[in-house]
Structure 1
Amino acid sequence: MVLWTSLLAIAGLASSARALIRFPCSQLVTERFDPLVTPGVVSPHLHQIIGGNAFNLTMDPSLDLPNLATCTTCRFKENKSNYWTAVMYFKHPNGSYIRVPQIENAFVGLPHGGMTVYYIQPPTNEKVTAFPKGFRMITGDPMRRSRPALDPTSPEAWSLTFRCWESKDFGDPSNSFPPGGGPYDTFELPKKKCPGGIRSNTFFPSCWDGKNTDTPDHSSHVSFMQGTVNPNAGIILMDGACPSTHPVRIPMVFLETVWDTPKFHDVWPTDGSQPLVLSMGDPTGFGHHGDYLFGWEGDALQRAMDNCVDIFGQPETCRDQGGLTLQTDEEMNSCSKSVQVEEVTEGTYLKELPGCNPVQYGPASATLIPDSQCAAVSTTIPLAIATAT
């Protein structure tokens, strides 16, 4: 959690900031599934998934996720949405790979890994419209291996970053700037040891065309707000305007993932090389991306946006003001799914990354390895698994 007093002061929003909700979600499953980009087949790379247990290989927009899910890994019981991002690996000097564990964020309790989720409103009285049934979107591009050619002052250019914590102390200066802003965040993976670990910051667009719940590229129906970013404040509480093509203000979904990289400092390379790699074979971090699939019950999210007016985002406030139901850590952590792709992805050093993902440094975009050249578990999944619930 950021130091909100500093954040508000930096952003100049102490008197105008409206509201957000902030809550943990423990890990549901780690799997090579991506029902948005590769529905019906095993994804080329590994994802860590949180949220409702209706998550599956194929998720038709017509599905009633809140009723299909019997539990959720998120703090609010009404939130059966799913969120997923790539997994981080550490490359040992001997060339093998091991998953970097995810650990809990500050002030969220004791979830099992997972992420911290934010739904952020603009610091104005502008109406925020909750997502409709069937809504989904992505942010970022897993094939990138260089910083995209965007206006460096635009919100989109600041939407995907990494925070290098200089200490595990919550009061450390490296935790005193908003996520995505300040001198401790980078657009690429940090190129040094981070004594407090690394936090991934994943922002989604906050403007919608008001018509499409999805598009073939899973991104054209949404847009980042417009405006000039304050480098010290980032976009978390930025008062930007939606473009005319996407006039409907939706909650800005933001994910924080904390990676326990100090666990590997004793075997960190001594030649100055950067040993971290994302699961799609990305050692740069520019392929950092995230997926969102809406699944809140009824009008629960709209109630939260209308009534949870706590700038600190504490779940208890939304319980009292928005009528939402809180789960305990034990309830969140007990919700999980069994892995359906029979392959080893974590807990031991691996000869290669799961799937067919050679490390590709760029700066050109990465390329996929054809299935015919892939010795990993097939990316064509049996129908029995594809239709399992």
Structure 2
Amino acid sequence: MRLKSLTALALAAPASALLRFGCSQLVVERLDPLVNPGLNPSPHLHQIIGGNAFNLTMDAASGDIAERATCTTCQFSEDFSNYWTAVLFFRARNGTYYRVPQIPNVGFSGQTGGMTVYYMQDGLANYQQTSKVTAFKTGFRMLIGEASYRNKAQSNRFRQITYTCLKDPGTRFPESMDFPKVPCPAGIMANVRFPTCWDGKNLDSPDHMAHMSYPETGTFESGGPCPASHPVRVPQLMYETIWDTAAFNAQELWPEDGSQPFVWSMDDTTGFGSHGDYMFGWKGDSLQRAMDSPCYVNCPTLKTQAIAEMNKCAVPNTVDENYDGWLKALPGAPRSMTGMKA
């Protein structure tokens, strides 16, 4: 259903913007300059996309990300923001782990891993995207989700962090809040949607969430109003990451009890700990101009780059640790986990 909505949006020539674009992989490593600035390595592994100003600290005092970056892995070359999530692993019956590769979304063939990023003014049912929103400001950052959550009651705090079991690359529903319980032929899509109401004052908050809020009533999709405490409507930021789980779908590879074998890098086998981090880094007023323009995928107000150029941008891995091949434990896990049985 969502894919049909996206197609309709493309054909309807929206009055305002819905940005959907790909970003290749920048780096995979145990750094988290939002939650654990200066800590090398951070507790669990992340996969990061965006501008090459990404580093260990990235505190506000270090200046505008867009001014420090020299390249970006994103299609829109004025977007030097950084976006990241945890990393998905497959756990074999013998307790060893293998990092699940990422594959490009529909429309971004040739992209090296990474994610698809959305900035939306309205829910997809409003093909014209007519609402006016205020773009994020220089220095803005936020987090959604909680890495330590392990059950639905906890994760209900976050309304729109979900998974889609892909029957084919175009599958977009149904969505679940926990990991799919059956093999997914075309992979698992992890969806992360951020709140859309800002307090209008703070670029960040101690928990990286309090300066943001969900609508007071209803949802972003239904056009619910922002609460008085967070009156400024901002774009809905959304990530789609496709994990290529097809190579691990044979039933004889799954645990003998039939339970699903995938685990997030923070040792979450439930899926309820999914989370996403964001540091704004658009050049000048480029995002606001885009939000005020009739943009969809191709945007006349933004500069774009070829996928080959996106794939060239990278930063060196600063954590001396192996993430590939069969691992005895998750990166950062206590060695006592070595040899743990599925």
Deviation at 1:2, TM superposition (A): 3.6
Alignment of 1:65 with 2:69, yes or no, is no
Q: Does the C-alpha gap of structure 1 residues 72 and 99 become closer, same or farther in structure 2, counting only changes over 3 Å?
A: same
- 1:179-194, aligned counterparts within 5 Å? 184-194=174-184
SS in 2 for 1:119: strand
Who is 1:341 aligned against? 319
Residue 4 of structure 1: how far off its partner (Å): 2.9
**Contact conserved, 2:15 with 2:130, CA < 8 A, in 1?**
no
Residue 51 of structure 2 corresponds to residue 40 of structure 1: no
Aligned residues: 327
Q: What displacement does 1:110 show?
A: 1.9
Structure 1 gaps of 5+ residues are 178-183, 230-234, 359-372, 376-389
Q: CA deviation at 1:338?
A: 1.1
CA displacement 1:169-220 (0-9 Å, x = unmatched): x3xxx43x4xxxxxx2110011111112110000011110000000111000
5+ residue gaps, structure 2, are: none
In structure 2, the residue matched to 1:355 is 332
- C-alpha contact (below 8 Å) 2:145/2:158 kept by paired residues: no
Q: Given the superposition, is the C-alpha separation of residues 304 and 273 from structure 1 closer, same or farther in structure 2, using an over 3 Å criterion?
A: same
Per the normalisation by structure 2, the TM-score is 0.89
Once the two structures are aligned, what percentage of the paired residues are identical? 51
> What does residue 245 of structure 1 align with?
229
User: Residue 54 of structure 2 aligns to which amino acid in structure 1?
Assistant: F
Whichever residue aligns with residue 267 of structure 2, its letter is G
1:260-303 per-position Cα deviation (integer Å, ceiling 9, x unaligned): 01111232334302110000000000000000000000000000
Equivalent runs, 1:8-87 vs 2, <5 Å: 19-41=17-39, 42-62=41-61, 63-87=63-87
What amino acid is the match of 1:275?
Answer: P
1:279 aligns with 2:265: yes
8 Å contact kept, 2:26–2:50: yes
Q: In structure 1, which of residues 265, 268, 289 is the aligned counterpart of residue 249 of structure 2?
A: 265
Q: Decide whether the 8 Å contact of 1:281 with 1:357 is kept in 2.
A: no
2:203 counterpart letter in structure 1: T
- Once residues 116 and 257 of structure 2 are traced to their aligned partners in structure 1, the CA distance between those partners, rounded to angstroms, is 34
Matches within 5 A, 1:270-349: 270-307=256-293, 309-310=294-295, 313-314=296-297, 316=298, 318=299, 320=300, 322=301, 324-346=302-324, 348-349=325-326
Q: Shift in Å at residue 238 of structure 1?
A: 3.4
SS of match in other structure, 1:3: helix
Q: How far apart in 1 are the matches of 2:21 and 2:334?
A: 32
Distance 1:57 1:148 in 2: 33
Which string of whole-angstrom CA distances, capped at 9 and with x for unpartnered residues, describes residues 129-179 of structure 1?
1111110000000000011357x6xxx6431000011234x3xxx43x4xx
Where 2:152 maps in the other structure, the secondary structure is coil
Counterpart-to-counterpart distance in 2, 1:209 and 1:7: 33
Does 2:106 correspond to 1:106? Answer: yes
2:132 match: 127
Moved more, 295-304 or 102-111: 102-111
Quote the residue 2:117 is aligned against: 117
Normalised by the length of structure 1, the TM-score is: 0.79
